[in-house]
Structure 1
């Protein structure tokens, strides 16, 4: 197996890209270098990762380190991870020097507007493999590349089981919820309309005997509205800034995970929930991890409550289950 250098970022708070990259550093032995392009004080480099970690206070110096790495002789693979095509513009001036380049763009929708043509030119000229995580991404990449250079694969790499005894605060909150309510439900994501946290909170007006942990990270246009709605309900708790271990402990201790996104690339927490033995209800906006119960994106809270009741009753005769996606690995990419 060839040696791999990963380019991306693991800033706090922990989101989907950060979670994916942290797990790749732990699970993939081929990774020898990680170039963190997002400077910041809060970093959570996995202790299990034994390779080189490069992150300078000035982003320019990290890019210069990457340039020096590319100029070094040797057959290596460079795996670039960004959110949107706009980030690709800086790659136009970097030399490949015989290296194999792999690209993952983690945003569910890759429409880049006026920059689409330039981004496509860079992809066509530089990338040996691009990874499409959903049908929308596959369609977008197909504008620039032959099908042979596009691999369909998810951004899912399995987590380690959380230490429930270590995350005492999470265990306490779970115990308090279970003392007063029947079922514990979890949703997560940025506080924006795409994640539809408001629908999850409104669901709890119907499911008054259940409790919702609404886990958000970062800032977004819906943050103040989510805070007001959560504070007005006894059976909703807003959780901000949980690290990966805390969120995993909360997810493992719940009865259901909701993923109600309007757009999504995959949804790492969907796979985590299922691997933790927790049922998951997710919108059908992309291919989901095998075992997820799929619902339409325009579902209302009453229809959603009906589906949730069927999941709890394990009566899924009328519910569509996801057919699954391939988990991420360099071996599967032929690296």
Structure 2
């Protein structure tokens, strides 16, 4: 994904950490000279604005205020590109009362499997507002074309390469200790929700005494309390750690595991490959070149494939 003209980005940056915010944070770092304004829709008291970003930053307290701010931005930044980033198809409700002016609109929804509770004719009207729609996989494109076959849909990746930096000694001490003790290091990540199937990683470590797992959790989910209270001698669970810390651990690991039931791409999978780390992921979507995939719901294949790299 590249930007080559002045753009207003609507989405968010960490915190919280997730697919949308990580993608946009990296995109802004890479093309800060073109980002005129960032309208952040993800409230947090700990925002990590890229140091090289010199554009206008505005944090919206809620979606109603955000609609009003986008309206004002269109008046101020005429004939500029507006790049909207949301997670799911239900986010299209944001555009019901938002008029389009003399600007170009682009849309990227980051959830791998899209659906919408909006009436079909309303969804169609909303999608027709966009000059271009970025589809992250074939299923997304099929979702959009169900509403109108001649939409300008561009197959695109939500991947912007990570920058690997050193971290403070206190943050990496436990990792280096486990490496020195001779453990094979596993890394997992995601929201504390069932679709991430963190239990498969826990089972894998329990079965193999030479493995140590660092599990990075972000955001809210029904398994948050259970996973944070996990008492396992060879598992450390982190919550809402900075991306630089996660990438450092990822770069020092022996294997990254992503057995998700749904996915759009898996940024961490691509990062691991670029760091030279083996990756095993479910085949629920098109994965980054070099990722080793297994058949979804085949737990046995997941375990067998993992052993090949350990």
TM-score (norm 2): 0.92
Q: Give the structure 2 partner of residue 281 of structure 1.
A: 280
Deviations 1:169-196 (A, max 9, x none): 3321111211334310100000111100
2:88 touches 2:111 (CA, 8 Å); kept in 1?
Answer: yes
Once the 2 structures are TM-superposed, how far is the Cα of residue 53 of structure 1 from its aligned partner? 0.9
Distance in 2 separating the partners of 1:217 and 1:19: 12
Q: Give the structure 2 partner of residue 83 of structure 1.
A: 87
Deviations 1:29-55 (A, max 9, x none): 322111112333221111121211122
Change (3 A) 1:51 1:180: same
Q: Give the structure 2 partner of residue 159 of structure 1.
A: 162
2:93 touches 2:118 (CA, 8 Å); kept in 1?
Answer: no
- Determine if the alignment matches structure 1 residue 25 to structure 2 residue 25: no
Once the 2 structures are TM-superposed, how far is the Cα of residue 57 of structure 1 from its aligned partner? 4.7
> Among 306, 309, 323, which residue is 2:307 paired with?
309
Q: Where in structure 2 are the equivalents of 1:205-284 lying within 5 Å?
A: 205-227=206-228, 230-231=230-231, 233-284=232-283
Distance in 2 separating the partners of 1:255 and 1:269: 14
Distance in 1 separating the partners of 2:262 and 2:170: 32
Distance in 1 separating the partners of 2:241 and 2:106: 30
SS of match in other structure, 2:9: strand
> Among 103, 107, 117, which residue is 1:103 paired with?
107
Structure 2 unaligned segments of length 5 or more: list them: none
Deviations 1:53-96 (A, max 9, x none): 12255665443332122124642110001111222223132232
Distance in 1 separating the partners of 2:72 and 2:81: 15
Q: Give the structure 1 partner of residue 186 of structure 2.
A: 185
Runs of 4 or more above 4 Å deviation: 56-62, 114-117
Change (3 A) 1:184 1:115: farther
2:14 touches 2:22 (CA, 8 Å); kept in 1?
Answer: no
SS of match in other structure, 1:87: helix
Q: Give the structure 1 partner of residue 174 of structure 2.
A: 173
Distance in 1 separating the partners of 2:97 and 2:118: 20
Q: Give the structure 2 partner of residue 323 of structure 1.
A: none
Change (3 A) 1:123 1:172: same
- Root-mean-square deviation over aligned CA pairs: 2.0
> Among 33, 44, 67, which residue is 1:40 paired with?
44
TM-score (norm 1): 0.85
SS of match in other structure, 2:309: helix
Once the 2 structures are TM-superposed, how far is the Cα of residue 262 of structure 1 from its aligned partner? 0.3
SS of match in other structure, 2:96: helix
Q: Give the structure 2 partner of residue 320 of structure 1.
A: none
Change (3 A) 1:171 1:294: same
> Among 83, 92, 96, which residue is 1:92 paired with?
96
Distance in 1 separating the partners of 2:56 and 2:16: 22
SS of match in other structure, 1:93: coil
Distance in 1 separating the partners of 2:7 and 2:263: 27
2:191 touches 2:221 (CA, 8 Å); kept in 1?
Answer: yes
Distance in 2 separating the partners of 1:291 and 1:275: 9
Number of equivalences:
306
Distance in 2 separating the partners of 1:8 and 1:179: 41
2:189 touches 2:216 (CA, 8 Å); kept in 1?
Answer: yes
Q: Give the structure 1 partner of residue 198 of structure 2.
A: 197
Distance in 1 separating the partners of 2:118 and 2:98: 22
Q: Which moved more, 1:213-222 or 1:193-202?
A: 213-222
SS of match in other structure, 1:277: coil
SS of match in other structure, 2:95: helix
Distance in 1 separating the partners of 2:66 and 2:305: 48
Deviations 1:5-25 (A, max 9, x none): 100122523112111110111
